[in-house]
Amino acid sequence: MRKIELLSPAGDLERLKVTLSYGADAVYIGGEKLGLRANATNFSIDEIKEGCDFAHKLGKKVYLTLNIVFHNEDMDGVEEYIKEVVDAGIDAFIVSDPFIISHIKKNYPNVEVHLSTQNSTTNYETVEYFKNEGIDRVVLARELSKEEIKEIIDKTHVDIEVFIHGAMCTCFSGRCALSNYVTNRDANRGGCAQVCRFSFINGDNKEFTMATKDMNMARYISDLIDIGVVSLKVEGRMRSLYYLATVIGTYRKIIDDYYNNNLTEEKLNTYEQRLARVANREVSSHYFLKEADYTDQYYTGRNEASNQDYLGQVISYDKENKLLKIYERNYFKLHDKVELFTPLGSIVEFSVEKLYNEDMEELDVARHPDSIYYLYLDTDIKIDEYSMIRLIEKSDYNVL
């Protein structure tokens, strides 16, 4: 059986390494040109090569987005840029422009071409058309039901990729002009200002919004596997390392548990709780089960509290002295219950009983983000690079 692919975003080289380490089978990245995340760090040619080398050593893949709506000026140097990227080792391009599709297929037949969700593909005839144009995979629009996805797969036998987690567009992907109209930033050329998340005031002086809730398909991964989807895609090239590690690590467990026939209701509940704690928006399955409606959107404002669970990234572990060295990201204190998790899936819960600063002075609170701290931890698990700690429960310890 062909195992389904878990596809992660990666906004820079560190995110690429983290998400592949946490279980992604492939990553999609943006170069310094012609992708749809102009505000992300994005990858130089040298970084693309380093990322591809890192992925290929793990037996994994790297896809490059080349999916803006091309205007005349965007064509200058595009063929040379494509060659540079191919030479750097990219495995596939994610594209929407017909000329770019034909150029890559004609000149680089060993590199896959995936039709971007920016094309808003919603029917099997369109998939069949692009199949005849040489497309290797289609990333479907996010506005499709389970039955529609299955019908497309059954009738075309084309590799299909779908989004499973992250932000949703209020308008169809690739068909939105709100950002361009309101802020003169073209969403279809990488400059989306997310106008759909703005708050507005109506004629009665009441606040309203048109923002969508995020997508979360954790409960329906088994359905997507069963109907023949080839790749499960997570949104979020600009998300934090902690967010990506948690989301990718959680979906990795869901997929593996399904194939190992041990994905229980209890496990699913745990995974959903883990995903809920890393997000700051409510979630929905949107169009998968029914036509999306008001329950899938925010109409009267929303609260998006910043997540404070991420306490730090592990730098090293001194097994002899039982000291965990971390780079702190959020405030924590003695007796807080925390959880260490690793890219290989190991999890250790413990209470913070001893805490030291970089000078090994004993403390009762870590209150300075971006500082180095040491925690006492007695464990035999292998603590890999990119291991992290998160808060489970705050203690009642009174800090003076």
pLDDT in tens, 133-178: 999 999 999 999 999 999 999 999 999 999 999 988 777 776 777 7
Residue 138: closest CA among 110, 160, 170, 169: 160
The backbone torsions φ and ψ at residue 330, rounded to the nearest 5 degrees and listed phi first, read -140, 155
CB 346 within 8 A of CB 360: no
Q: Residue 89: pLDDT band by 50, 70, 90 thresholds? A: very high
Residues in contact with 198: Cβ distance below 8 Å, sequence separation at least 6, in sequence order: 182, 209
pLDDT per position as a tens digit, 238-259? 888 999 999 999 999 999 999 9
Burial tier of 59 (Cβ tally within 10 Å: 0-12, 13-18, 19+): exposed
User: Residue 170, Cα to own-chain centre: how many angstroms?
Assistant: 19
**Nearest by Cα to 167 from 236, 233, 105, 220:** 236
| Calpha distance 309→307 (Å, rounded) | 6
Tell me how far CA of residue 331 lies from CA of 275, 364, 369, 372, 388, in angstroms.
21, 11, 7, 12, 15
DSSP β-bridge partners for residue 65? 30, 94
This model's pTM is above 0.85: yes
Look at residue 314 in the predicted model and tell me its pLDDT. 96
State both tokens at 235. Answer: 């949104």
Integer Cα distance of 119 and 216 in angstroms: 22
Strand pairing class (214-216; 283-284): parallel
